[in-house]
Structure 1
Amino acid sequence: MTVRLRAHHLLCMLTYVGKGYSPGFVANYDAIAARLSQGEDIEIVAGPDDICAPLAEEADSHCHEPRIDQRDELAIRDVSALMRLPIRTGTRIALTPTLLARFRGAFAANLTRSACVGCEWSGLCSEVARDRYRDSRVRRD
């Protein structure tokens, strides 16, 4: 199988530590983190993805807001520059231990955080990065 992620979730998965919008959201994200940790590939999608699933059906879900699409665009720009290849809808990424370490190094150095500006989780993500991702649920080491 393949984990379907919108672009800015390539950044969110780096610092996910089991916190989220609701118990259902956290349970779903935990399952996705386990799949990524086991080596499942990632496919970039436009709009709501596997992480959004518990929220996407709610009438007031932020998953469909234009500001979230803008986060995706910023993440695509940053991740494409980091990987030195174009990332777009349909791109498949094998999250190897080396690539995960590269993503995390760039995130900690603020090289890929354009999409994080204004995000309510940004402070927590900064703490996780400062703590060297010790409690992150996505592990590939």
Structure 2
Amino acid sequence: MFQLRGHHLFCLLGYRGMGYSDEYVKNMTRLHQTLRNNPKTLIQLVKGPDQLCEKYPNSGQYHCQDRNIYDRDQPILDKIGLKIGQILNWGDIESCIRKFVVPSDIQILCETCSWRSYGVCEEGIQEIHDWKGLREVK
């Protein structure tokens, strides 16, 4: 089982093999590909730092504890219809995204995210709507 915070559910949709450091990318790719290859993998939704945050590089202020990040987590969970503490499989999370989220929601829910300008998260949501799941990352 993996523990994930709210906004990382969207980050996984947009993930294309880029990140903050080599260690972060390896960790994100491993988790991403596990979910892609086994959508029955269980996820526990948590408040605050999760298993992706564990590998965020220590370069001054700890990004994962920033108030702005917490402020992004809850609205994403609200939009998807999920709650902190829930345990469900990745396939069920994709179903909730398909039901409640459209690609343009990224512009509002992730307004302050530095990765938003790449457009990959909107593409990821569209791929969930098209029943493609997470894309392969090598």
Normalised-by-shorter TM-score class: 0.7 to 0.9
- Cα distance in 2 for residues equivalent to 1:6 and 1:115: 14
Cα separation, partners in 2 of 1:115 and 1:128, compared to 1, 3 Å: closer
- Cα distance in 1 for residues equivalent to 2:57 and 2:98: 27
**Displacement over 6 Å in runs of 4+:** none
Equivalent residue for 1:60? 61
Equivalent residues in 2 for 1:102-141, closer than 5 Å:
103=97, 107-111=101-105, 114-126=108-120, 129=123, 133=127, 136-137=135-136
Percent identity over the alignment is 25
TM-score, normalisation: structure 2: 0.76
Equivalent residue for 1:33? 32
Give the secondary structure class of the aligned counterpart of 2:19: coil
| Cα RMSD, aligned residues only | 2.9
- Cα distance in 2 for residues equivalent to 1:101 and 1:8: 16
**Shift, 1:93, TM fit:** 2.2
**1:104-127 Cα distance to aligned partner (Å, 9 max, x none):** 686553246533102110122447
**1:80-136 Cα distance to aligned partner (Å, 9 max, x none):** 1xxxxxx2221112222x752662686553246533102110122447618x54883
CA contact (8 A) 1:5 1:45 kept: yes
CA contact (8 A) 1:4 1:45 kept: yes
Aligned residues: 130
- Cα distance in 2 for residues equivalent to 1:124 and 1:55: 20
CA contact (8 A) 1:108 1:126 kept: no
Equivalent residue for 2:90? 95
**1:53-92 Cα distance to aligned partner (Å, 9 max, x none):** 1127554221001110000121122111xxxxxx222111
Unaligned runs of 5+ in 1: 81-86
Unaligned runs of 5+ in 2: none
